[in-house]
Amino acid sequence: MSTGEKVLVIVLAETRAHEHTFQCFRENVLDVFSADLCLCVAESEFEDTNNPFYQHAKYIWTCPEHEDWGNAFDKAQREQGTEAPWRKLLAVGDQWLGGVKGVGQQPGSAAILLFFRWFLRQCLLETDVLHEYDRFIITRSDFMHCIPHVPLRLLEENSIWVPYGEDYGGYTDRHIVVHRRDVLNVLSITDFMLSEPEQIAQEMSHFNHWNLERFIKFSFTRQGLAERIKRYPYSMYAVRKCGGRTRWSTGKFDRHLGYYVKYRSEYKRFLRVQRYIRKESDWNMKTMHVLNGQEDADLRYMQRRNSWNRLRKDLVLSARQANRKLFSYLKKSA
């Protein structure tokens, strides 16, 4: 059942794995919402601009590819009219600014995804597109959507909707559903990083294992958005074609499927949802609650297991320290 809302689906950063994903993406995302498609991507030698994502896109917004994505942030900072030394944030570990070069350089590519959030917001501000749509779905192109996306009739517009899972201590960065009135705020998570880096470094100094997911949650909390985050069942999974490039997880090849499944935990979440959902009309609030409840149970189990593992390590360490003290005492007494 349609809500009558106009929807824009935005693919962020790059298009890949289209050989496997586009048909499902069109049937179970674009067609479900009668949505338009926007690409907000880099001008990369790896981008095949003849792929179906480009052919079906109503809007294509591009920026240059950078060897050092810190240069892109420098440009963003100049446009904001600030000159604060934001690269000092590289000292705040350990992988949330991957892609930026400099002292304290971090692994991965999370900073690229942070920059594209800034770039997307600028594109929305500089065009009339923001006012043409009610909801925005910001996602990635390598998702397999084998079942229909959860319908908007179940996602009330005053909340910010994030799939439940793949959070890694924060909120997953891979997909979000947001209303027009919130989309600019959701995309503004780099603003204070560029304008007040010393303050941000101080607020983040209590922890040294930041990733993109944790930084998103930190930013949403700081902006007062976290209390409006709601979750829905994780119904898709990321893939990689044979020989396809990746900035992070290579995945594991599945002979039956014919491609690499990038995150096994994500695939398991999809399989769980697939047991309940085959067509759009299968989605209802009861099923949402059941599936979210199963995710809650898994989370509690993982927390208990992690607590037990930490306790076990502490006990082993304490035993070793006690043994060393006893050995030292006996040696002195001999």
Structural domains of the chain in order of their starting residue, each with its CATH number: 7-283 (3.90.550)
pLDDT in tens, 254-303: 999 999 999 999 999 999 999 999 999 999 999 999 999 999 887 766 66
CB 241, CB 17: distance < 8 Å: yes
Q: What percent of the chain has pLDDT over 70?
A: 91
Cα atoms in the 13 Å half-sphere on the side-chain side of 26 = 11
Question: What gap in Å lies between CA 96 and CA 89, rounded to an integer?
Answer: 10
Sign of the Cα torsion 40, 41, 43, 47 reads negative
Question: What gap in Å lies between CA 138 and CA 120, rounded to an integer?
Answer: 10
Both tokens assigned to 102: 């400099």
Structure confidence at residue 233 as a pLDDT band (50, 70, 90): very high
Q: At what angle do helices 110-126 and 212-223 cross, to 10 degrees?
A: 40
Given this model, what pLDDT does residue 157 score? 97
Structure confidence at residue 84 as a pLDDT band (50, 70, 90): very high
Stretch 153-176: mean pLDDT, rounded? 97
* DSSP H or E segment with residue 99: none
Given this model, what pLDDT does residue 2 score? 57
Residue 155 has pLDDT above 70, yes or no: yes
Residue 8 has pLDDT above 90, yes or no: yes
Given this model, what pLDDT does residue 55 score? 98
Given this model, what pLDDT does residue 249 score? 72
Given this model, what pLDDT does residue 25 score? 98
Cα-based distances in Å from 128 to 35, 123, 131, 132? 17, 9, 6, 7
Q: Are strands 252-254 and 259-261 parallel, antiparallel or unpaired?
A: antiparallel
Sign of the Cα torsion 224, 109, 266, 236 reads positive
Residue 215 has pLDDT above 70, yes or no: yes
User: What b/e readout covers 130-152, taking b as 16+ CB neighbours within 10 angstroms?
Assistant: beebebbbbbbbbbbbbbbbbbb
Structure confidence at residue 248 as a pLDDT band (50, 70, 90): low
Mean pLDDT of the chain: 92
User: What b/e readout covers 112-129, taking b as 16+ CB neighbours within 10 angstroms?
Assistant: bbbbbbbbbbbbbeeeeb
Residue 307 has pLDDT above 70, yes or no: no
How many beta carbons lie within 10 A of that of residue 304, not counting itself? 10
Residue 66 has pLDDT above 60, yes or no: yes
Given this model, what pLDDT does residue 217 score? 98
Both tokens assigned to 270: 């999809």
In angstroms and rounded to an integer, the radius of gyration of the C-alpha atoms of the chain is 22
Given this model, what pLDDT does residue 328 score? 75
Given this model, what pLDDT does residue 318 score? 72
Question: What gap in Å lies between CA 215 and CA 111, rounded to an integer?
Answer: 11
Stretch 57-68: mean pLDDT, rounded? 97
Both tokens assigned to 130: 């923001």
* DSSP H or E segment with residue 85: none
Structure confidence at residue 148 as a pLDDT band (50, 70, 90): very high
CB 60, CB 39: distance < 8 Å: yes
Given this model, what pLDDT does residue 256 score? 94
**Tokens 């149970």, residue?**
297
Residue 21 has pLDDT above 90, yes or no: yes
